[in-house]
Amino acid sequence: MSNDKKSRPLVGILMGSDSDWPTMQAAAAALAEFGITSEAKVISAHRTPRDLEQYVSSAAGRGLCVIIAGAGGAAHLPGVTAALTILPVIGVPIESKSLKGLDSLLSIVQMPPGVPVATVGIGAAKNAGILAAQILAVGDERLQKTLSKFKAKLAEESRAKNKTLAG
């Protein structure tokens, strides 16, 4: 990857409110661990829909390759984002106070045919970052190697758990 490609954001991380950031920052951290630059923005599908259209419709032209969108409650941000772009969109259901994120999950995952959102688990922003990295790795051998090392480390850590079992 060239230095220029490394420093410009390849992933846009959107969230409906700053209250989503404590969850969503795990996506940015996972991407940073793989050497991928991201940009984070608060843009709401309900409160600032015109800003959302402007951001998403210019995203591919600005070099973004994947968009991660996290929202809670009536979580329309990922779906509306997917409606406005052909970039892959990953949705993160934010855990809500009243329904513990089940509302967010169902709002994000039940998309109509033709407008997919790749939905991760409730609060699973780290997985969203890893999935975005895996999408980017399709055309990037260096990133493929980094991800393979990451998966090998996961396997080692999993095997090591046997050592802590009694008996």
The CB density around residue 90, as the number of other CB atoms within 10 Å, is 29
Q: Out of 26, 65, 67, 73, which residue is the one contacting ligand RP5 (CB under 6 A)?
A: 73
44 vs 144 by CB, closer to ligand RP5: 44
64 vs 71 by CB, closer to ligand RP5: 71
Taking CB under 6 A as the binding criterion, the range among 10-18, 30-38, 113-121, 157-165 that sits at the site for ligand RP5 is 10-18
Q: Out of 5, 6, 8, 19, which residue is the one contacting ligand RP5 (CB under 6 A)?
A: 19
Pattern 112-151, binding to ligand RP5, x per CB under 6 A?
----------------------------------------
The residue behind tokens 């409650």 is 73
Q: Which two tokens stand for residue 81?
A: 């984002």
**Is there a contact between 117 and 82 (Cβ–Cβ < 8 Å)?**
yes
Q: Out of 30, 64, 71, 111, which residue is the one contacting ligand RP5 (CB under 6 A)?
A: 71
CA distances from 30 to 36, 62, 81, 83, 150 (A): 9, 22, 22, 26, 11
Order of strands across the sheet that contains 89-94? 38-42, 11-15, 66-72, 89-94, 118-119
Taking CB under 6 A as the binding criterion, the range among 13-21, 27-35, 130-138, 154-162 that sits at the site for ligand RP5 is 13-21
DSSP H/E element including 50: helix 49-59
